[in-house]
Structures are given as structure tokens and as C-alpha cells.
Amino acid sequence: MTGNRIYNFNAGPASLPLGVLAQIQNSFLNFNDSGMSITEVSHRSKWFEEVLNDAIARTKRLLNLDDSYHVLFLQGGASLQFAMVPMNLLPDDREADYVNTGTWATKAIKEAQLLGKKVNVAASSEDRNFAYIPKNIAFNPKAAYVHITSNNTIKGTQWASFPDTNGVPIVADMSSDIMSRPIDVKKFGLIYAGAQKNIGPAGVCMVIIRDDLLKLTPKNIPTMLKYTIHAEGNSMYNTPPCFGIYTIQLVMKWLEESVGGLANMEKINQKKGKILYDFMDKSGFYKPTADADSRSLMNVTFRLPTEELEKEFIKQATANDFGGLKGHRSVGGCRASIYNATNVEAVSALVDFMRIFQQKNG
């Protein structure tokens, strides 16, 4: 714990860089000498226009996006994207491949099917309770796109590398690991990410879409659900979530200027994951739920010998200022979310607490 702040391991809304929070605090009442809060300035003003364009520019630099990619900031979270993606990108005479790796992938499949779209579940890890990422998948070379969930917050799995789809564009829900590592963006036609896990507060979803997919948008869907409308309006067809975009801008600035880019961020994330997983593997007490080669560096899910011990672990952790360690209500157990903003010190402190708890209860 630092000051009056706890060690925050919540899965989302999750921790933000302390420097970003301090900058928000310092400018909240008078943003850039406007005499107004960022929550008060007009989205048509020069002040917000600068914020928006800088957020887009920094996102493009961090991910090495060229001009064929558009960065959008939308509302409705990743859950709305489960429907917007097939509405915009999947014609009725085409089929899309989906890989089912857990709760959020399952929901994405369901939304596409609700729209009457042709969905092929190309692979699934449901046979072992989504404890692994499928390999050697036979994708349809004629599919409109391949949909994956890059990191699974509930099951604690993550794609260590992205699949070869034979040129079919990947559509990825990257809500919980976007900006955590460099990616080969050429594989992706569309990336979407609810901000509240790794890049900002709740209330805004980042969407990155390539020109060729943007052109697939049909005319007969509601205006607010068209990617073309949001791209043409630079995310300002209607009033955007200004505060959320401002926070994302500051997080992108932190990643560029304080962390030094995504390659450095990946090294830090790998170090955090190694500290925590190595300790658990050697403990004989804490058991990660995901297969070793599919383990997430963002959401570390684990079990203790009994549910009673898990409840006591969470109770004592909370009393010692370690927050958010309870597993998702659908699976139980424990979960430590160690997103970008969670530093090595926090993970090391957690391991120290876990070691003491084991000594007393093992």
C-alpha cells in the first residue's frame, strides 16, 4: 500500500497509472487554462479536439498503425461490439469463424447468431472448462473474418501468439490486454477493447478498423451502429465520452513517454507474471487454473486447496490492503489482475502475503 491507496488487483474497472490519476486531479477543475473541467468543455472545442487527435496519434504510434487504420472511440463497451462486428462485417451470404475460449467469446458467438448470421465455431476449449487456447485450427479460407478473444479475464488464458488464418482478417476482442505488448497489426482487420481493464475508465470502447473492412458496412443498419459513420465523424457523430477519451490519451502518453513503448511494457508484464506464477508453481498450495502454455499475463486465476481457505484468503487479503482478488462469480476461486498499471512492487507484495498465508494455513 502506498499512502492511502490499496494494492488494486481488480479485473475491471481496474488500476490506472498513479501519474495519470495525479494529472487528472491537477487539471480536473481547470483543464488547460480553459476555466472548465474536462467534463465540461464542449466536444467541439479546440481543447477536446486536441485531446482526441493526440489520443489517436499516440495509439497509432504505439501500435505502428498506418493510414489504412482508423482509431474510433465508441460507447456501449465491448459487449456492443459483439453485435456491431457481424452487423457491419458479415454479409448474409458469408460465414465467419469464431474461436470459443470462454465467457466473452461465447457471448460474441451468441450475439452474431441472434442476428441470424452464419457462424462457424472453428475451435473451442470448452471440453476442459476453457483452461487452454486451442492450437492448429483449420480456419475457413473463405471466411469473412476470424474472431478471437485475445485474453480471457475469467478463465485466465491468453493467446501467446496469434493464429495463422491464411490471410483472413482477424477480429479481436482485446479488452483486457490491449497495449500490453507489441502486435503484428497486419493480421488484424478490426480490434476492439473496452477501456476499463487496461487503458482507461469505464464508458468508452476503443475500436481500430482497417479500410477494407470499413467498406463492408451495409446501408440498412441503424446509423449509430455503422462504423463508417463514426470514422467519417472522427468519433464525434454524437457527443463522445470525453472524460474517458482524455484518460486514454494520458495513458497512451504514459506508455510512450514513461514506459518507453510496448516492447518495454511487455518486459515488465512478463516479469510480473513470472514472479507470481513461479511462486505458485513451487508452492504446492496455490494452483493456477490455466494450462502453463496458455496462462494470461493480465489475469492470473488460481485456486487454493479448499473453498473455505479461498474465502479466508480473500478476507485476510482485503484486510491487508490487497483488493480485487476474488474470482469471477461464475467460476469462483481467486484472481489477481496484473494489468499494465499494476507495478512489480505490487506483485511482489502480493507474493509476500501469499507466502505468509500459506505458512499459517498450509
> Annotated active-site positions, please?
104, 173, 197
Strand 170-173 to 157-158 pairing = unpaired
- The H helix count followed by the E strand count for the chain is 10, 14
Paired with 188 in beta bridges are 170
Residue 340 amino acid letter: N
Q: Are 167 and 47 spatial neighbours (Cβ–Cβ below 8 Å)?
A: no
- Nearest CA among 51, 67, 87, 62 for reference residue 240: 51
* Cβ within 8 Å of residue 149, ≥6 positions away: 99, 101, 102, 104, 105, 108, 172, 173
Measured distance CA(30)–CA(252) in Å, rounded: 21
Paired with 2 in beta bridges are 5
| Cα-Cα end-to-end distance for the chain | 25
Backbone angles phi, psi at 126, to 5 degrees: -65, -25
Q: Are 343 and 267 spatial neighbours (Cβ–Cβ below 8 Å)?
A: no
DSSP string, 157-188: EE-SS----TTPPEEEE-TTTTTSS---GGGE
Measured distance CA(340)–CA(42) in Å, rounded: 31
Is residue 275 helix, strand or coil?
helix
Q: Are 334 and 302 spatial neighbours (Cβ–Cβ below 8 Å)?
A: yes
Q: Are 155 and 329 spatial neighbours (Cβ–Cβ below 8 Å)?
A: no
Q: Are 11 and 324 spatial neighbours (Cβ–Cβ below 8 Å)?
A: yes
